[in-house]
Chains A and B, each alone.
Chain A
């Protein structure tokens, strides 16, 4: 992780800390979702704990997690040797490419609720997918120009491969410098996986979750209405437009997305309702993206 960060820092990437609001993937953090919009070049890397309530397995399945960690990298615009740089970054992790089989296999990505999609590959390493590589084409319903390359490293998967383990929970996270005794991933995270599986699948209060959802949505919507009239107004000054709290509005949308995921894991959303709720989240995310693009131009 440290080596990965310094590799990319040496190549001009801003190193960010994980975003401190619950997200399902590194893509949803504003460092990706909003920064990819507009013409301004940007390079950023950050680790992002990603919550997927429905993927929880009470810590019983050795390969599935409710919360995993992505190392997310955005290169906007992508350099011409982006694939070569990626392979070098694997070498920086201590991987000898000559002793492994690496393939770039077609895998296109989309996040309908974020109005985002791209084409790319899953990088297969001795038969294991270790990275998702995407050329973003659209985000927040807006065409991107320039486009950007998004590299998402699955940190648990990569470590599992490096340490040659059958279970994620056996990953050695640290060692006592004197005794050499390991601290494993399981020791650190098992309780969290178990308890959040119980919460997400069994105990989360559906009515309250809906209440939270509606509250966050209402506030986000209200802010978006204000944002739109302000940003489209010809009399408002640039500085007035720039201080409008769109970033906060986006956080409210992220809250809705996470609540939706918990409700979904809880089995509280029928397939019929699903489309409708995703549409509501999409309206917020796309709304913020559009407003953000206007704000950047202000």
Chain B
């Protein structure tokens, strides 16, 4: 059983796109081979990638498709043959089936005798099929950004394709993609191996052949090499460790074919700069790993992952070069920091008038004043009991200064640190830890995985800033549509929900929206938007089942923490047969009420019910209703649901024995009132009719 290898040689592919493309190539090749009946059942598909190549090795490809035989049935025998002589119908069918008229057979069927033909198809060879089908698959790989390179612009791909290896064992599969013919020659590391071709003798020799040419094609192996090399380099300094950084490992992994690591130093005096700035320079600008001591404080070293192997002399040169670049960057940051201190944040607020927030809305000065208005409304909307109110002076100062760092040179240099730098400046300028924290944390959570601001002032500022932005943008018709969300309003709304979910701030979604209300913003549209975001949060962030989320939000989509608790407690009951039976009954009740409504049947007085089973249900409701309401009030949803589940036998018997839509109008009215009473008395936690019970 041959093995198939495809290697696509490219100019350096952007690191962020490689992992996805590698997986997609593997999927596409596997699906293609399976579809074409060329994949052995136990075949093993392995993918590889480096910045300059994507590859897939399939162990267990059939040499050719199996031959097939197919039976085809045509017109009835009588129509096809007239006294044994073929008619036009027989000839037409034979032509369609691709056989001679003499090869047509008589087939007996239940409907009589018909003409049949058996068509033998010769299977294609794997090589032929791959030549015909694989190029399309390769060119269909998704890339976030494509380019043209050939004259006449025949195709787009992430970067120019420079070589192709396609082998079935040792035989070249003569594919052609973007004008490049496949062969058995790959390429090695640009510098360590040079331009000489790397001949792949046979498909399964692939990774070893390239290893000899200084390319480790297996990403898992490279990841391991990088981690070990980071450990090893760090051990040359006592008492330190490298700061774990999974995303950075993934990035450098996709920037190297032959990774090695060097440890370099910088002058300890730069440790006076805020850690956030140092780490941003190292991590985001230089792709270096930071080094920290046992308490997690930065140490004056860095780790660079190289794409080469050098001797001691080369290592010294490279270390020196990298250290010089880092020093220059730190020096810049120091220069900007010192320069910025000449104008304190309080003096920068006025100049925000020159910084546009949004053309149709206004400047960041306008935004700041708006945020102050919203923060004030939020504080006024909060009940004063059972809760430690925010420090108003801190909150107002932080809100006033939150955007002032936009005019700072350091922020122009490190835009990703806006807010954080403002917080650091506030502290450096004597405004205190609480103001610093609130400004520093204003953009938290940056994602659904991030933490919320740690202080209540930070939480309120975060809420106000976001809800003001969303409301104002909706007011000028900038609501997100489909995949378009240029102002990241969904992320802003997610942040609001996460803050409400994970803080103690006693505010509902409605009161947050009320605080930001503007006359042009369509409230219904905003409510729908936030409801959709809450749905997303419960389902995709918290992982609740969609039917539970629907059930919970059908009752109330306003109090975020209650919605979470109700979803948790409802989820806890999904294993209870009684609860599921009651849920099914609720669904039934809703259906009956809808039917009754369509027919115009009026609800009567449940005092008029006749059947014993109905009376039993009525007393069950009466005996449980108060207790359930009390538990619900105390947010003891689990206990409330357990009580509701005890209704099961009574409800089941009721539906077994009683015809709700009784022909007698008075009985029917009473029955309808009774089942409506079930709904009204036990609602408020979740709409059980939404629960999928089967």
Contacts and interface: CB of A to CB of B under 8 A. Distances in A.
Interface in B297-340: 304, 306-308, 310, 313-314, 317-318, 320-322, 324-328, 331-332, 335
Interface in B269-305: 286, 288, 304
B191 A98 contact: yes
A119 interface: yes
Nearest to B364: A271
Interface in A93-133: 97-106, 108, 118-119, 121, 125-128
B149 interface: yes
B318 A103 contact: no
A233 B317 CA distance: 63
Interface residues of A, number: 43
B328 A63 contact: yes
Contact of A106 (B15, B160, B313): B15
Nearest to B191: A97
Contact of B321 (A87, A126, A143): A126
Contact of A126 (B149, B162, B325): B325
B148 A104 contact: no
Contacts of B51: 104
Contacts of A60: 335
A77 interface: yes
Secondary structure call for the A interface: mixed
A38 interface: no
Contact of A145 (B152, B324, B332): B152
Contact of B153 (A128, A145, A166): A145
B149 A135 contact: yes
A270 interface: yes
Interface in B327-375: 327-328, 331-332, 335, 354-356, 359
Interface string A151-168: 000000000010010100
A272 B307 contact: no
A82 B160 CA distance: 11
A195 interface: no
Contacts of A145: 148, 151-153
B145 A101 contact: no
A145 B255 CA distance: 30
B12 interface: yes
Contact of B325 (A62, A80, A128): A128
Contacts of B304: 101, 127
Contacts of A128: 321, 324-325
B11 interface: yes
A103 B255 contact: yes
Contacts of A226: none
Contact of A105 (B15, B288, B356): B15
A101 B308 contact: yes
A1 B255 CA distance: 29
A127 B317 contact: no
B132 interface: no
Interface of A: 60-64, 77-78, 80, 83-84, 87, 97-106, 108, 118-119, 121, 125-128, 135, 137, 143, 145-147, 161, 164, 166, 267, 270-272, 275
8 contacts: A77-B151, A80-B160, A97-B191, A99-B317, A101-B318, A106-B15, A128-B321, A164-B321
Given A135-B147, A135-B160, 10 more contacts: A62-B331, A77-B151, A101-B322, A103-B255, A104-B51, A119-B145, A126-B321, A127-B288, A128-B324, A145-B153
